[in-house]
Structures are given as C-alpha cells and as structure tokens.
Amino acid sequence: MQIIYAIIALGLIGLLFGLLLSMAARVFAVKVDPRIEKVKEVLPGANCGACGFAGCAQFAEAVARGETDPAGCIPGGKSTAQALAQELGLEIAETEPLVATLFCIGDSNKAVDLFVYEGVKDCTVAGRMNGGFKACSYGCLGLGNCARACPFEAIEIGRYGLPVVDQEACTGCGLCVTACPRDLLETLPRRSNQGHLVLCRSHERGKKVSKACSVGCIACKACIKACPEEAITMDDKLAVIDLDKCNDCGKCVPVCPPGTIYPRTAIPADLSELDKEQVSAAPAAGEG
C-alpha cells in the first residue's frame, strides 16, 4: 500500500506542477504579431545582414512594426519588396537592383608583386605585412575576403588572382564591399550596365603607378579633355566618371594611355580577360 500511496502522491504532485506551468505559460506568454511569421515566409532566409539587421527574423519584426522599409531586403529584390508590401498593405518606392563591381584590373600579369606571400589567405592580414605583397598599395590582393563574405556564392577568385563576380547570382547585398579592406568593390545600379568606369583606385603619382601596374590610372587627364559631357573629374590623382553624366560616347577609352577605362557593357566577369583593343573597337551605346 505504501508503494501505491507514493505513486498516487507523485502523480498528484506532477499534476499540480503541470497545472502551474500551464498557468504560467498563459500568464507570461509573449504575444507574437502573426504578420511577423508571414513576413518571414516571404523573405529569402539568407540571414546576410545586408538589410542592417542581424538576420531575417529581426528584419521581419521591424517590417511588421513599421520600423523599416519593406524594400530593405536587398537580396530579395523588387519581387520580395512587392510581396511584403502586399502582405502588409503598404506602398513601396521603386528600387533599382544593384550589382557588385570590382575597381581593379591589376591581375598577376599586370601588377608587380614585391615578394611571394605564403601567409594566411586573408587580404587584411596580408595588407599588414609591409603594406601587402603588391607594389601597388591600392591594388587587389586576391585572397578571397570578398568571396568568403558572399552568402550567395556569387564571387570566386579567377585564374589570375582577381575576384570574378557572377552577375546573375549577385544580389547587390554589399557584404563584399564591407569585406574588402582596400575598398575596391562597389555596388552599382544595373541600369543595363550604363556608363564607363575607371577601373583603378590608386591615388599615387603617375610614375609610381606605372612602375607598380601597367593598367593603373596615371592621372594624365587625357580622358577629362576628351569627354564632351564633362563627366570625368579628378579625385586627388585618380580620374572618376560620373555615371549620371556619362552618355557612353566612348571617347575617353582610346585616349587613356594605360587602358584603364572601360564601358560597363564590355567588362567580362573575369577582369583578367580585358583587352584594350577589343574594348576600343566595341560600338558605343546606341550604335549597331
């Protein structure tokens, strides 16, 4: 009988604790906005942080509370923004898709290496060793920080040491931009690849640039003189093209001595394959 009494007592105690836990769960339950779950279902679930939040869950909460723009999910793009707006009964402004672009063409064949680097495959670490193994202190080290930061596997290091961006897979999230210690990546509006670019970020004097890289901007200003739209200006010792002013006439391309300027339509995924003669022969925008 003692065993039976003990079993009954334990059962009653378990039942009591169960009732108490059930009551506590109801009293202290956190009410979740049902819209948050609906928003999370629409999001791509990449948890990339490009929206400025720690992950998709935090972004979903902020969107549901009206604290951030539904168009803030860059990887999701226009379709995700529209789906969120429809789910929440909101209106969103038109957003332009972005794509990551590398502003350096100094690959292993064009840029001079000062020494053989055999350390950690990290651009930041390598850059701390006497300024890096490249003679150009602004050039791409090609050790893959950008590729590792991309959650969509849209970047890989090409055969000549430069990042290759998959234009279709790139969502323009900008994580590669943040990961690059030399600020060589930038997210640009796709806009059918409108405009020309100076694919260099060096601010050194022309003579020093020429010794370090055969395709670096030497600040000769020939492109500025050739541009009829006044779309090119000098940022210290580096030529910069304003894409809003550039009309793709292409007059800056043949006058650039090192061949640093290219139309966006002629830039291949692997920048190591760039050829100045082929680009110069490419038709300008609007031509057949």
Confidence of residue 93 (pLDDT cuts 50, 70, 90): low
Q: Is 126's pLDDT higher than 50?
A: yes
d(CA 127, CA 123): 6
What is the reported pLDDT for 107?
Answer: 92
In terms of pTM, does the model score above 0.85?
A: no
Per-residue HEC secondary structure of the chain comes to CHHHHHHHHHHHHHHHHHHHHHHHHHHCCCCCCHHHHHHHHHCCCCCCCCCCCCCHHHHHHHHHCCCCCHHHCCCCHHHHHHHHHHHHCCCCCCCCCEEEEECCCCCCCCECECCCCCCCCCHHHHHCCCCCCECCCCCCCCCCHHHHHCCCCCEEECCCCCEEECCCCCCCCCHHHHHCCCCCEEEEECHHHCCEEECCCCCCCHHHHHHHECCCCCCCCHHHHHCCCCCEEEECCEEEECCCCCCCCCCCCCCCCCCCEEEHHHCCCCHHHCCHHHHHHCCCCCCC
What is the reported pLDDT for 279?
Answer: 46
What is the reported pLDDT for 245?
Answer: 94
What is the reported pLDDT for 274?
Answer: 59
Do residues 236 and 173 touch, judged by C-beta distance below 8 A? Answer: no
Q: What is the pLDDT of residues 152-202, one digit of tens each?
A: 899 999 989 999 999 889 988 899 999 999 999 999 988 777 899 999 999
Region 71-78: mean pLDDT is: 79
Domains, the chain, in order of start with CATH, read: 41-88 (1.10.15), 98-281 (3.30.70.20)
Mean pLDDT (the chain, rounded): 85
What is the reported pLDDT for 287?
Answer: 44
Beta carbons within 8 Å of 232's beta carbon, 6+ residues apart = 198, 223, 224, 239, 240, 241, 242, 252
Query: Which one is predicted more confidently, 40 or 277?
Result: 40
Q: Quick one: what percent of the chain has pLDDT higher than 90? A: 50
Confidence of residue 65 (pLDDT cuts 50, 70, 90): confident
Closest alpha carbon to 67 in 28, 31, 33, 29: 33
What is the reported pLDDT for 10?
Answer: 84
Residue 13 identity: I
Which two tokens mark 142? 């090609």
Dihedral (Cα; 139, 140, 143, 147), 10-degree rounding: 160
Weakest mean pLDDT among 59-63, 150-154, 212-216, 246-250: 59-63
Q: Is 112's pLDDT higher than 70?
A: yes
Q: Is 283's pLDDT higher than 70?
A: no
d(CA 30, CA 48): 27
What is the reported pLDDT for 165?
Answer: 93
